[in-house]
């Protein structure tokens, strides 16, 4: 039984820049990442906080990426903690584009970074996932939850 997100999340990019929402075609969206969503947008599109929350992780020092799984760990990303134990994560951010810091309190719609080509990525897009923790290892013990629509 798939768990749906409890919180309401807004589209994490400006709607007028969104080309397509892709939930199924990425080869990386398997297992724990099965509920991740790729938002196809131009490079440098602003990334918006999907809900109110507190920033828990920022990496934006990578300047490297491309269409190979070996580049997986070169992704720049931000994690935000929300109500109800849910977190959102935004991947493939542009080099040094973060506008937020860890522990910062941010509002839904706040610009947090720009879309880049870092990590394992075929074309500019924002990888977005909402997840919950299932244990104590922050890199391993999590599961994505389903975001059916943005609002």
Size of the site for Zn ion (CB under 5 A): 4
Binding status of residue 26 toward Zn ion by CB under 5 A: yes
Out of 5, 38, 50, 82, name the contact with Zn ion by CB under 5 A.
Answer: 38
Taking the complex as a whole, the smallest distance from the CB of residue 147 to Zn ion amounts, in Å, to 13
Choose between 107 and 123: whose C-beta lies nearer to Zn ion. 123
CB of 127 to Zn ion, least distance (A): 3
DSSP for 100-142, written as a single string: --TT-EE-TT-EEEEB---EE-SSSEEEEEEEEE-SS-TTTSE
Q: Which stretch binds Zn ion (CB under 5 A): 3-11, 20-28, 55-63, 75-83?
A: 20-28
Q: How far apart are the C-alpha atoms of 18 and 41, rounded to whole Å?
A: 5
Q: Do 8 and 51 meet the contact criterion of CB atoms below 8 Å apart?
A: yes
Smallest separation, CB 38 to Zn ion (Å): 4
Q: Footprint of Zn ion on residues 84-143 (CB under 5 A)?
A: 127
CA-CA distance, 136 to 151, in Å (whole number)? Answer: 31
3-state secondary structure of 20: strand
Whole-angstrom distance, CA of residue 146 vs CA of residue 24? 13
Q: Which residue is nearest to Zn ion (CB)?
A: 127
Shortest CA distance to 92 belongs to which of 108, 109, 73?
A: 73
Tell me the window of 4-12, 30-38, 69-77, 107-115 that interacts with Zn ion (CB under 5 A). 30-38
Which positions lie near Zn ion, rule CB under 5 A? 26, 36, 38, 127
């Amino acid at each position: 039984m798939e768990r749906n997100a409890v919180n309401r999340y807004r589209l994490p990019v400006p709607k007028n820049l969104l080309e397509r929402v892709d939930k199924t075609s990425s080869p990386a969206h398997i297992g724990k990442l099965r509920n991740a969503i790729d938002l196809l947008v131009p490079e440098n599109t602003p990334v918006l906080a999907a809900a109110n929350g507190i920033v828990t992780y920022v990496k934006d020092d990578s300047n490297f990426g491309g269409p190979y799984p070996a580049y997986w760990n070169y992704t720049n990303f931000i994690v935000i903690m929300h109500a109800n134990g849910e977190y959102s994560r935004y991947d493939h951010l542009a080099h040094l584009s973060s506008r937020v810091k860890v522990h910062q309190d941010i509002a839904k719609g706040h610009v947090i970074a720009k879309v880049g080509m870092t990590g394992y990525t075929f074309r500019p897009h924002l990888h977005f996932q909402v997840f919950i923790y299932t244990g104590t290892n922050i890199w391993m013990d999590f599961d994505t939850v389903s975001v059916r629509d943005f609002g």
